[in-house]
Chain A
Amino acid sequence: DTAVSQTPKYLVTQMGNDKSIKCEQNLGHDTMYWYKQDSKKFLKIMFSYNNKELIINETVPNRFSPKSPDKAHLNLHINSLELGDSAVYFCASSLLAGGADTQYFGPGTRLTVL
């Protein structure tokens, strides 16, 4: 059973479109995260939710809007996609809302904006 799953695995779209990436975890964790790995390979946190509440919001454009319908899901919606949004997006979860708690990552979604 996959612990943290993301869909889709690959997403190719045109500039200006709106797209969503879904994430689900079956670990019973309270906290979920979205990370972006850009072309320079840095993994940077974008958002974190604890019990459906936003607790981390890094400097991310307003075009990115996370939504957590319940503790097991954290979806990422992106409006008006730009070329620079091309990256691999990783979802993660942890039991507690603490940086010292082990985070479990999904397989990633490779987004390509043409």
Chain B
Amino acid sequence: DQQVKQNSPSLSVQEGRISILNCDYTNSMFDYFLWYKKYPAEGPTFLISISSIKDKNEDGRFTVFLNKSAKHLSLHIVPSQPGDSAVYFCAAAWSGGSNYKLTFGKGTLLTVNP
């Protein structure tokens, strides 16, 4: 049962344009969400996160939006750069109780063309 879904396996955009990566979740207990970026032959690296008390978090070119009612979040990258080409994983967690684990989506491969 996939609790975190990234329905687009890949996305291709032109350099300088906006990249929008989407993520949906089913578990209403999730209250903390993260995006990780992964280059080939490397481990995932943390990019940006958002708590459920917010609907937007911004860090430079990266902005994450959370729509709790729709159980949907998105990562916006603007402007996109060729170095942004990587697999992006959405992850979710429940910060309370004894559930200490991150649940990951399947990832979306972003290709930014020069």
User: Which A residues are closer than 8 A to B by beta carbons?
Assistant: 4, 31, 40-45, 48, 50, 55-56, 58, 90, 92, 97-100, 102-108
Closest to B38 in A: A105
Pick from B45, B51, B93: contact of A105, CB under 8 Å: B45
* Nearest A residue (CB) for B101: A45
- Asked if residues A107 and B41 are in contact (CB atoms below 8 Å), the reply is yes
Residue interface bits B47-58, CB-to-A below 8 A is 1, else 0: 001010000000
**A-B residue pairs in contact (CB < 8 Å), sample of 17:** A4-B43, A31-B100, A41-B107, A43-B107, A48-B101, A55-B98, A55-B100, A58-B101, A98-B95, A98-B100, A99-B32, A99-B94, A99-B95, A102-B34, A102-B49, A106-B43, A107-B42
CB–CB B46/A40 < 8 A: no
B interface secondary structure, majority: loop
- Residues in B with CB closer than 8 Å to A41 are 106-107
Within 8 Å CB of A31, what residues of B?
100
A102 touches B46 (CB 8 A): yes
Question: Interface readout for B84-114 with A: 1 if CB under 8 Å, 0 if not?
Answer: 0000010001110011111010110000000
Chain B positions 20-62 with a Cβ under 8 Å from a chain A Cβ = 31-32, 34, 36, 41-46, 49, 51
Pick the most buried of A31, A40, A97, A98: most chain B CB atoms within 10 A of its CB: A98
Residues of A contacting B34 in the complex (Cβ-Cβ under 8 angstroms): 102
Question: Using Cβ atoms and an 8 Å threshold, which residues of chain B touch A55?
Answer: 98, 100
Q: Chain B residues with Cβ under 8 A from A108's Cβ?
A: 41-43
Q: Give B56 Cβ to nearest chain A Cβ, in Å.
A: 18
CB-nearest residue of chain B relative to A92? B43
With a cutoff of 8 Å between Cβ atoms, the chain A residues found around residue B42 in the complex are 107-108
